[in-house]
Amino acid sequence: MIRPRPIQTDLVLPAHEVLYRALRTRIMHGEMEPGESLTLRGIAAAHGVSMTPAREAVRRLVAEGALKMTQSGRVSTPELSNERIEELASLRALLEPELAARALPRAHAALIERMSAINATVDQMIVKADSTGYVRTNLEFHRLLYLRAQAPAMLALTETVWLQAGPTMRALYQRLRRRQGSEHHRTILACLRAGDEPGLRLAVRADVTNGLRMLLA
């Protein structure tokens, strides 16, 4: 388990918002294991805040499906069932090819080169067997492109799916112990350079569903 460092409360944002964002990022990037138990007191102490912002941050994450809370107040990251994994994979297959297609007309050369540099970092994370680093940089690769779609509601839905799948994706890549980069990422970059929308949709769909569906095999 990665131990968080105490966070500094932003001069503008309230403590619960700063904590919410910090926890959300950790969960989305797979810095927590599936089924990892948490306590409000432990969260508050680890991040240097009182119980009230910890409670509010957890409440919001439970509402987003990033955490679950039992009637007794036990908090944990979710352990996804096969049905839930299939549902999240299907959502990614619907949302992300559309985001990529909408981004394509605005995918200038500098953006593609930036994505290529991020993909080189993704490959480095694979070589180092850094599963958390892999999840983080893989999402960065996709998010950089999707921001160009200028579809904030669709991107927000996509990030909620990433959030719910974060711990499971980290566990998957730990188990697979991959040593090669993503062929799908290279195809995505080639389609962006060529302005190939149908190819881009297919490459994104294959990339975003491949990982989650490996868990069903």
Cβ atoms of 190 and 184 within 8 Å: the answer is no
Q: Output the CA angle 204-33-130, nearest 5 degrees.
A: 60
Per-residue confidence (pLDDT) for residue 11, from 0 to 100: 54
Per-residue confidence (pLDDT) for residue 10, from 0 to 100: 45
Tokens 């998957």, located at residue: 172
Output the CATH code of domain 15-76: 1.10.10.10
Per-residue confidence (pLDDT) for residue 201, from 0 to 100: 98
Q: Render pLDDT for 116-174 as a digit per residue (tens, 0 to 9).
A: 999 999 999 988 888 889 899 999 999 999 999 999 999 999 999 999 999 888 877 77
Per-residue confidence (pLDDT) for residue 178, from 0 to 100: 59
Per-residue confidence (pLDDT) for residue 6, from 0 to 100: 55
CA-CA distances (angstroms) from residue 214 to 48, 85, 142, 208? Answer: 38, 10, 19, 11
Q: Render pLDDT for 28-62 as a digit per residue (tens, 0 to 9).
A: 999 998 999 998 899 999 989 999 999 999 999 99
Per-residue confidence (pLDDT) for residue 3, from 0 to 100: 58
Tell the CATH superfamily of the 82-214 domain. Answer: GntR ligand-binding domain-like (1.20.120.530)
Dump the DSSP string for 146-209: HGGG--HHHHHHHHHHHHHHHHHHHHHHHHH---S--HHHHHHHHHHHHT-HHHHHHHHHHHHH
**How is the chain split into domains, by residue range?**
15-76, 82-214
Q: Render pLDDT for 59-112 as a digit per residue (tens, 0 to 9).
A: 999 999 999 988 877 899 988 888 888 899 999 999 999 999 999 999 999 999
Lowest mean pLDDT among 74-78, 187-191, 194-198: 74-78
pLDDT of 2 over the 50 cut:
no
